[in-house]
Structure 1
């Protein structure tokens, strides 16, 4: 199986996107890079036998829920406007989880951001794997925290 060059993905997609929405930093960058690795292997743009989309394999319901229940919060300042500016015109939001990787990355970051839990340290692969499972994949998701998932987060840290 082939995929994207991980250091380029991290440097060209994840870092500038998270900086653009004001939610960057090494811990967030490594967590989002690792999440993409765990969710899609940076190969799949549609979940096999499921609804999830894009490198971060976000489900359309989750994307919609962030817009409806989280982004309208006035305490978030201009974040909603920043997110709206990332969208391409005349393409449904959920389709952009596949086609617009900046938007997909930002939405994945918001999934973590709306949780009250702090991010694990930037170099804590086991902590990042646990955070991914608890917040992103959830107890309902098929993912597990095992050595292979921790190794993917370590790979993201080292990229």
Structure 2
């Protein structure tokens, strides 16, 4: 199955979203583009096999809610919370927008990574970006394979 055109995903969705959040960097751009490829091939909006993950970044509702409850609701993050609120459509829940609203879903994936204490790898380090994805977006028990996913991050870098 093929998904979104990777160049369009990177330059028409990821980059403008990260710039709007004030969290753009070449490394973040390649990390978010590679994450969509690694998680869903930028094609699936529901987790294959019936799991809970939603959208092309395959964020689980519990992870989404944790970002709001334990990070975005605090005054120190009010700027980010306001930016995220401005990305929402008024007729759907936030969780539903992980599927329907690419900008919001990308922004929430960036927030998940932003909460990590480790610095982002170099923007051209596909293996480093893949390992960062595994360590900070997936879990040790999760299905992501950092070695196998290097190709997705290389594709994101090349786009």
What are the residue-to-residue correspondences of 1:29-40 with 2, within 5 Å? 29-40=29-40
Q: Distance in 2 between matches of 1:118 and 1:73?
A: 22
Q: Distance in 2 between matches of 1:141 and 1:43?
A: 19
CA contact (8 A) 2:55 2:105 kept: yes
TM-score by length of 2: 0.96
Aligned to 2:94: 93
Task: State the Cα distance separating 1:73 from its structure 2 match.
Answer: 2.4
Aligned to 1:143: 144
Residue ranges of structure 1 left out of the alignment (5+ in a row): none
Aligned to 2:131: 130
Residue ranges of structure 2 left out of the alignment (5+ in a row): none
Task: State the Cα distance separating 1:79 from its structure 2 match.
Answer: 1.0
Task: State the Cα distance separating 1:33 from its structure 2 match.
Answer: 0.2
Q: Distance in 2 between matches of 1:25 and 1:51?
A: 30
Aligned to 1:45: 45
Q: Distance in 2 between matches of 1:16 and 1:116?
A: 24
Aligned to 2:157: 157
TM-score by length of 1: 0.96
Aligned to 2:66: 65
Q: Distance in 1 between matches of 2:76 and 2:42?
A: 33
Q: Distance in 2 between matches of 1:2 and 1:79?
A: 32
For 1:137, what is the secondary structure of its paired residue?
A: coil
Task: State the Cα distance separating 1:138 from its structure 2 match.
Answer: 1.5
Number of equivalences? 158
Moved over 4 A (4+): none
Q: Per-residue displacement from partner, 1:122-151 (whole Å, max 9, x unpaired)?
A: 0000000110000001113111112x3101
Q: Distance in 1 between matches of 2:126 and 2:18?
A: 19
Task: State the Cα distance separating 1:77 from its structure 2 match.
Answer: 4.1
